[in-house]
Structure 1
């Protein structure tokens, strides 16, 4: 599939934003993170800013962005529409939580309820985003048991690393949050390796024979449908050289998982301000690595429509 940069940024930014919002909603609402005006303001601004920036960037891949609102009407059958509805609905409890926790300095009670609802909305939105891709049967690399959990794991991972960087920067770092961020990063790394292993061994059952229903022999096209590149080949027949794929996988492992894990380990063993510096570097490096990971997620996916073009 063609890796549109707008969608690559969208999935990375919103995943991190919703992950951070969910953690703030639960930990802040229940009082595990004490209310603080500047901490709450920066934290909520970062979470909602990433979400809004991601949602706005996603319209860049639409032919007619001004018609994006029409997608909300198809929530009964479309995961894309459900994602839109869930993302907008989440802003309501998130706004109430932000007012109560960040501005008024309260936790528990109605603030906790709003925080938990914001967290539930965040998880739901990430699930709908994952299901957009997991539900696409023509793309075997996405239509697997690995896709939806990957979205949830990566959202929790990037959100947790961002939360740790935020707490360390305000000198209220939590060892529990730091350890959980490190474990989530290692879990994300293991899941990504398992996904690549699954995709590399994948045997796609659809062939030109099964697509046409013609049994016996080998079906081949005497004349290709088009003599030059068309929309389908550009969008669904994107090809990446194996050597480039291997190189980008190594970059992904380094930036998204290995380097952040080392930096988080350094933060765990270091006092302030070194712990804060290492934590912030871990968050920035990981987001950069996830942009590469998301690009590969699209570039390595193969749509069965390319069978009709001899690929």
Structure 2
């Protein structure tokens, strides 16, 4: 799949933002109030809302984004939009009570935090449900991947060092699990020219369907070299998980925290770019790309 920058920025930034808001809702930084609380909540809202807005850049007509709310019965995209609005609204009320009145309504925080986490889950399900992309169609691994990155980033931004160290290692394991399953997914799906045509024997193309590129080739058939993919996997593992996890073992001060955040986002962007670039759509069989 073509790795669109707007979707990559959306999933990474909104994931970290909703992860931070989730932990704040569940009681992280419980001693903060006034301006300190405002800063943490503001970072979460800026990342979450900024990520959601960047997703509209991928639309041919961003004004049509409003229609994504109307198909909640069948569309995970619609559920994502509705849950995001509900989560941000309740979290905004929870944050306002803490910042301006020093009132912490724990049940409200739990509900808002759960909705933030559910929003990340709905984002993951947008991709998980697509059977035509076997690498994404991992009902357990893909949602776990999105949730682990979101919670890890949230713990890091919230300064929950003890939780972040564990989550970094957990994210690394889930990332390896997703890569391992994804590398075998297309083959295990059993989709080939025979299943596509219903014919038996050795089925091959007589000639290419098109003489030039088209939309499907541009968006659905993207090839990344194995050498480059391997390097990016190493970068993703080291920067988004392993190096920050070792940093969490010692005393983390302001400079160390900034470095850990920079490493996390660098590794997460690499991982998310690969999430799209390595995904193979079955339509590629029609063009003889596999």
TM range (shorter): over 0.9
How far has the Cα of 1:68 moved from its partner? 0.7
Normalising to structure 2: TM-score of the pair? 0.95
The equivalent of 1:4 in structure 2 is 4
The residue that corresponds to 2:76 in the other structure is: 79
For 2:224 and 2:283, the matched residues in 1 are separated by 17
Partner of 2:235: 251
Per-residue CA shift, 1:17-45, capped at 9, x if unaligned?
011001001115xxx71132122110010
Structure 2 match to 1:102: 99
SS of residue matched to 2:27: helix
Q: What CA RMSD, in Å, does the superposition of the two structures yield over aligned residues?
A: 1.3
Tell me, yes or no, if the aligned pair for 1:161 and 1:178 is still in contact at 8 Å: yes
Q: Does 1:162 align with 2:157?
A: yes
Does the CA-based 8 Å contact 2:69-2:78 persist in structure 1? yes
Cα pair 2:124 2:146 within 8 Å, conserved:
yes
In structure 1, the partner of 2:134 is 140
Q: Deviation at 1:96?
A: 0.8
Q: 1:120 aligns with which of 109, 114, 118?
A: 114
What stretches of structure 1 move > 6 A for 4+ residues in a row?
none
Q: Distance in 2 between matches of 1:282 and 1:89?
A: 31
Residue of structure 1 equivalent to 2:25: 25
TM-score, length of structure 1 as denominator length: 0.89
Contact 1:264 1:278 (8 Å CA) reproduced:
no
TM-superposed CA distance for 1:143, in Å, is 0.2
Alpha-carbon distance in 2 for matches of 1:281, 1:162: 12
Residue correspondences, number: 286
For 2:168 and 2:120, locate their aligned partners in 1 and report how far apart those are by CA, in whole Å: 18
Corresponding residue for residue 225 of structure 2:
241
Q: Structure 1: how far apart are the matches of 2:147 and 2:126?
A: 13
Q: How does 1:84-233 map to 2 (within 5 A)?
A: 84-107=81-104, 111-144=105-138, 145-164=140-159, 177-202=160-185, 203=187, 204-215=189-200, 217-233=201-217
Contact 2:88–2:116 (8 Å) recurs in 1: no
Report what 1:285 is aligned to.
263
Offset, 1:210: 0.5
Work out whether residues 41 and 103 of structure 1, in 8 Å CA contact, stay in contact via their aligned partners in 2: no
| Mapped partners of 1:59, 1:77: distance in 2 | 20
Unaligned segments of structure 1, at least 5 residues: 165-176, 268-273
* Cα distance in structure 2, aligned partners of 1:287 and 1:185: 12
Contact 1:25–1:116, Cα closer than 8 Å, also in 2: yes
Other structure's SS at 1:156 match: helix
Question: Structure 2 regions of 5+ residues with no counterpart?
Answer: none
Looking at structure 2, the residues matched to 185 and 138 of structure 1 have their Cα atoms a distance apart, in angstroms, of 31
Distance 1:91 1:195 in 2: 29
